[in-house]
Amino acid sequence: MRKGGIGISRIHGFMASLAGGYHNVPYTTRDIHNVNAKQRREGGLDAESCLRYLQECKANDPALYYKEVVDGEGVLQHLFWCDGTSQIDYQVFGDVVAFDAMYKKNVYLSPIVVFSDVNHHNQTVVFAAALVADEKEETYVWLFQQLQTSMKGKALVSIITNGDRQMKSAIEQVFPEAHHRLCAWHLLQNATSNIGKPKFIRMFRDCMLGDYEVRTFQRK
């Protein structure tokens, strides 16, 4: 049914109608998603197509860097990539890097990791991206090592994350001199949940996100 284009929820509903109700179906929509993703990964077609596409891109962009990791059965686990333009941007704007591993809206339910920041026009620039099979410490270590290798060894000065402990440990191993800070969204969430005073939250947000000279910032 998936190959025929039928959605997961409709498949689950159809199975429930056959079984006499949802309570008689021994699996959830998430279980169907997981099985479907596993079948697609093991089929290898998407991974092969992706790697072939990157090889073709490298022919037009010799600076493009990508690295993959496969398991003992030859199934793709992790894939990191960045193109030549991203590497140039990193050399200019890469002192501060935002590291986001919260995107999971894909058919494999795998984290899509993005390394990014802003340029001198306050526009988002993406330095690199990756697909990973898990969010373990060793996976993050591998990702940071790939970033360092692809960027010719240039170490970042500051990195902004969601505060994940595995990330923190990996950063300390690969970029021991980097300043590790929480992202603005999580700081605001912490302030809201721990203090809960709307006036303070507004003032705090203004201080954190406002464009002020140092003295004005300190006074506020």
Both 80 and 124 in one domain: the answer is yes
Both 137 and 93 in one domain: the answer is yes
Q: Say what the pLDDT of residue 202 is.
A: 93
Q: Structural domain tally of the chain?
A: 3
Where in the sequence is the domain holding 131, given as residue range(s)? Answer: 47-182
Query: Do the strands 124-131 and 179-182 form a parallel or antiparallel pair, or are they unpaired?
Result: unpaired
Both 85 and 166 in one domain: the answer is yes
Q: DSSP letter string over 69-85? A: EE-TTS-EEEEEEE-HH
Both 76 and 134 in one domain: the answer is yes
Average pLDDT over residues 43-66: 85
CATH code of the domain containing 140 = 3.30.420
Both 178 and 190 in one domain: the answer is no
Q: Say what the pLDDT of residue 85 is.
A: 94
Question: Is 153 part of any domain?
Answer: yes
Burial of residue 80 (CB within 10 Å: 0-12, 13-18, 19+) is: buried
Q: Say what the pLDDT of residue 125 is.
A: 92
Question: Is 205 part of any domain?
Answer: yes
Tens-place pLDDT, residues 177-214 = 999 999 888 899 899 999 989 999 999 999 998 889 99
Both 192 and 205 in one domain: the answer is yes
